[in-house]
Amino acid sequence: MKKLFAQSYLWLLLIMLYAPIIIIAIFSFTEAKVLGNWTGFSTQLYENLFAGGVNNALIVAIENTLIIALVAATLSTLLGSVAAIGIHNLRGKRRAVMNSLNNVPMLNPDIITGISLFLLFASLGITQGYTTVILAHVAFCTPYVVLCVMPRLQQMNPNIYEAALDLGATPFQAMRKVIIPEIKAGMISGFILAFTLSIDDFAVTIFTNGTDGLDTLSTYIYADARKGGLTPELRPLSTIIFTVVLLLLIIINIRTYRIQKRKEAKL
Amino acid sequence: MKWLNKLFTKRSSWSIPYFLFLLFVVVLPLVLICYYSFHDGTTGDFTLKNFEKFVSNHEAANTFIYSIGIALITTILCIVLGYPAAYILSNSSLCRSKIMVILFILPMWINILVRTLATVALFDFMRLPLGEGALIFGMVYNFLPFMIYPIYNTMQKMDHSYIEAAQDLGAGPFTVFRKVVFPLSMPGVMSGIMMVFMPTISTFAIAELLTMNNIKLFGTTIQENINIGMWNYGAALSLIMLVIIFVMEFFSDSDEDRASNEGGII
């Protein structure tokens, strides 16, 4: 009885959480301008999304989003992994300073990060565009990479690295053959996390994308939604984004599940 | 050359590039916010004018108080709705499936604008007017997963022998909850509050979309001022927000929790 009650509460909340997105998905398959009017099944809106001359801006925005996310995630992963190895080998006060500095970007609300970086670029006279957006994304993604890699370093047996050096490996070889394999899983998680954070970002991007009309998916949706409330084309777009995120998360979870299984098998 | 080689091999020095990077993109920008907020835009002199303007300008101050009110309501609703959910999810006798947990966390990963537009769509669909009700519903809808996840996380890590000990000592289910489970879950609630309250005050764009531009929150006020070139005033408003975060942070000291919570399921 108690269980039934608990289960129905969860389902009720889930319905509330998912109702909006399901309604959008359903009505992305009809042509009606006003949401809620069903004028028969049609994939017209999906075609408009990708074909229309005006809407080509959308394709450009998607490209921008993916390029920025890829570059920013790659740079964050490199910078964050090197930094994590460095911080792991720091002691005492320096380590505490680095850890709290690393926390600052995560605690700042997006709008503060965005405005502070805007002021930085503006007062240094840097023209805002691709470079500044990527720099800004690296700034708020890297701390998460550091947090993903750190636990791996802590789990690692430090003697293995020393042993490699004793056996005649150069520090570079020891790094490549010993440390990198140990932290690889953390680096991959960090990369995926940075990639998603970058794709998702709106507040930081809008302050750093300059005036040349560099649009990512978020800023495109924002501009579009401001113009006409809810343009019909945003329905298929939201549906696609939702499906892609859903698939990505399922893949990530299967991956984590497998890694865990493998670990258990090893033990 | 030798010292360079030594610098490279000593692994603690690998944190130097990141340290410099953080100085440039985190510390310096925050210093700039302080600098701008205490300076006059036209003359460049030191001034408290920007803060005086905030206090005397009723519109900004009212928006600020209104935003805190909306954020409080949102946070309380999220706790009331989210706490039981987190409790059920972490209790294996009530809910066994991991998929449920994923379903609750999933919305955290969807673009906040898409989620907001979905709320607008829901209100359109139900023929409900957009306004304050939509604003609060939208905020709760957007931030509920951010409340559930940290609470779920702390409950998950909770040592169950405490609960068993309390039961052995004769405590009924309600007493166990009140004396053991609830106090132990407080850190999760605190980080949940941080993750709901602050974003609600600071979001911009979302409130306009949910209320057809009728209601502004504090984040919007800041954004508008920056957009029209009032950098100094905008910086002062940002600084006010930063101070609030600092104070809240001081009382909750859950920064590490939050960091691991935003990591979601990975």
Q: By CA distance, what is B206's nearest residue in A?
A: A222
pLDDT at A229: 62
Please say if the pLDDT value at position B262 is more than 50: no
Question: Is residue A23 one of the residues assigned to a domain?
Answer: no
Q: Is the pLDDT of residue B4 over 50?
A: yes
Residues facing residue A41 across a β-bridge? A30
Domain count, chain A: 2
The answer to whether A84 touches A153, Cβ cutoff 8 Å, is yes
DSSP state of B108: G
- With respect to residue A106, please indicate whether it lies within any of the assigned structural domains: yes
Q: Does the residue A6 lie in any domain?
A: no
Q: What's the average model confidence in pLDDT over A120-149?
A: 92
Q: Which among A112, A142, A192 has CB closest to B241?
A: A112
**How far is CA A39 from each of CA A31, A33, B71, rounded to the nearest angstrom?**
6, 10, 39
Cβ contacts of B198 on chain A, cutoff 8 Å:
109
pLDDT category at A265 given cuts 50, 70, 90 is confident
The mean pLDDT value of chain A amounts to 85
Same domain (yes/no): A150, A190: yes
Q: Residues of B numbered 182-241 whose beta carbons fall under 8 angstroms of chain A's beta carbons: which are they?
A: 198-199, 201-205, 208-209, 212, 219, 222-223, 226, 231, 234-235, 238, 241
Same domain, A200 and A251: no
Clarify whether residues A75 and A206 are in a common domain. yes
Q: Does residue A2 lie within any of the structural domains?
A: no
Q: What is the pLDDT of residues B65-107, one digit of tens each?
A: 999 999 999 999 999 999 999 988 887 777 667 778 888 888 8
Q: Which has more pLDDT, B257 or B238?
A: B238
Q: How high is the pLDDT of residue B52?
A: 83
Question: Which of A50-59, B76-85, B203-212, B215-224 has the weakest average pLDDT?
Answer: A50-59
Asked if residue B259 has pLDDT above 50, the reply is: no
- Candidates 3.50.50.60, 1.10.3720.10, 1.10.645.10, 1.10.3210.10; CATH matching B58-262: 1.10.3720.10
Question: Are A221 and B33 an interchain contact pair (Cβ–Cβ within 8 Å)?
Answer: no
The pLDDT tens digits for A167-176 are 988 888 888 8
Taking only the tens place, the pLDDT of each residue in A226-257 is 776 667 878 888 888 888 878 877 777 777 77
The C-alpha atoms of residue B13 and residue A247 are separated, in whole angstroms, by 40
The residue ranking higher by pLDDT, A177 or A33, is A177
Whether residue A205 sits in one domain with residue A77: yes
Kindly state whether residues A261 and A171 are assigned to the same domain. Answer: no
Question: Does the residue A51 lie in any domain?
Answer: no
Q: Looking at the complex, does the CB of residue B12 fall below 8 Å from at least one CB of chain A?
A: yes
In this prediction, residue A253 carries a pLDDT of: 74
Confidence grade of residue B265 (pLDDT, cut at 50, 70, 90)? very low
Tell me the percentage of chain B whose pLDDT exceeds 70: 90
Q: How far apart are CA B148 and CA B191, in angstroms?
A: 10
Distance separating alpha carbons of residues B198 and B195, to the nearest angstrom:
6
Q: Please tell me whether residues A117 and A196 are part of one structural domain.
A: yes
A208 shares its domain with A260: no
CA atoms A24, B193, A248, A204: torsion sign: positive
Find chain A residues with C-beta within 8 A of B36's C-beta. Answer: 119
- Do A201 and A261 lie in one domain? The reply is no
The pTM assigned to this predicted structure is: 0.84
Q: Is the pLDDT of residue A263 over 60?
A: yes
Q: CA of B79: how far to CAs of B84, B183, B190, in Å?
A: 8, 15, 10
Is residue A92 over pLDDT 80?
yes
Which two three-digit tokens encode residue A141?
């993604």
On whether residue A114 sits in a domain, the answer given is yes
A179 with A245, same domain: the answer is: no
Lowest mean pLDDT among A2-11, A35-44, A169-178, B219-228: A35-44
Let me know: does A142 contact A191? Beta carbons within 8 Å. Answer: no
Establish if B100 touches chain A: CB-CB under 8 angstroms: yes
According to DSSP, the residues that pair with B170 across neighbouring strands are: none
A35-89 per-position pLDDT tens digit: 777 777 888 888 877 776 555 788 888 889 999 999 999 999 999 999 999 999 8
- Cross-chain residue pair A9–B84, CB shorter than 8 Å: yes
Burial of A26: CB neighbours in 10 Å, binned 0-12, 13-18, 19+? middle
pLDDT at position B263 is 43
**What is the pLDDT at residue B255?**
46
Do residues A138 and A265 both lie within one domain?
no
Q: CATH number for the domain including A96?
A: 1.10.3720.10
B253: confidence class by pLDDT, cuts 50, 70, 90: low
Say if A9 falls within a structural domain.
no
Q: For chain B, report the end-to-end CA distance as a whole number of angstroms.
A: 42
> Could you tell me which chain B residue has the CA closest to the CA of A120?
B29
From A134, A143, A172, A135, select the one nearest A80 (Cα to Cα): A143
Contacts of B95 in chain A (CB under 8 A): 6-7, 10
Interatomic CA distance for residues A34 and B124, integer angstroms:
8
Average pLDDT over residues B178-192: 86
Q: State the Cα–Cα distance between residues B253 and B244, nearest whole angstrom.
A: 14
Percent over 90 (pLDDT), chain B: 20
Residue B103: predicted pLDDT: 82
Cα separation values, B200 from B95, B139, B168, B193, B258, Å = 30, 7, 43, 11, 16
Residue A137 sits in the same domain as residue A241: no
pLDDT, tens digit, for every residue of B118-127? Answer: 888 888 888 8
Residues A78 and A96 in one domain: yes
Angle between helices A56-88 and A44-51 (to 10 degrees): 70
- Domain range enclosing A258: 237-267
pLDDT of B245 over the 90 cut:
no
**In sequence order, what are the beta bridge partners of B46?**
B39
Judged by CB atoms within 8 Å, which residues 164-193 of A form the interface with B? 171, 189, 192-193
**Pairwise CB contact (< 8 Å): B141 & A104:** no
Residue A141: pLDDT band (50, 70, 90) is: very high
Residue position matching structure tokens 């980080």? B191
pLDDT, position B264: 44
Residues 6+ away with beta carbon under 8 Å from B145:
A17, B104, B105, B106, B107, B108
pLDDT at residue B10 tops 80: no
**What does the angle CA B110 – CA B114 – CA B120 come to, to the nearest 5 degrees?**
135
Inter-residue long-range contacts of B155-160, CB under 8 Å, 24+ positions, other chains counted? B155/B86, B155/B87, B155/B90, B155/B91, B155/B181, B155/B184, B155/B185, B155/B188, B156/B90, B158/B90, B158/B184, B158/B185
Structure tokens at B205: 């764009």
Spatial neighbors of B183 by CB under 8 A, at least 6 apart, are: none
Residue A215 maps to a domain: yes
Interchain CB contact of A263 with B (< 8 Å): no
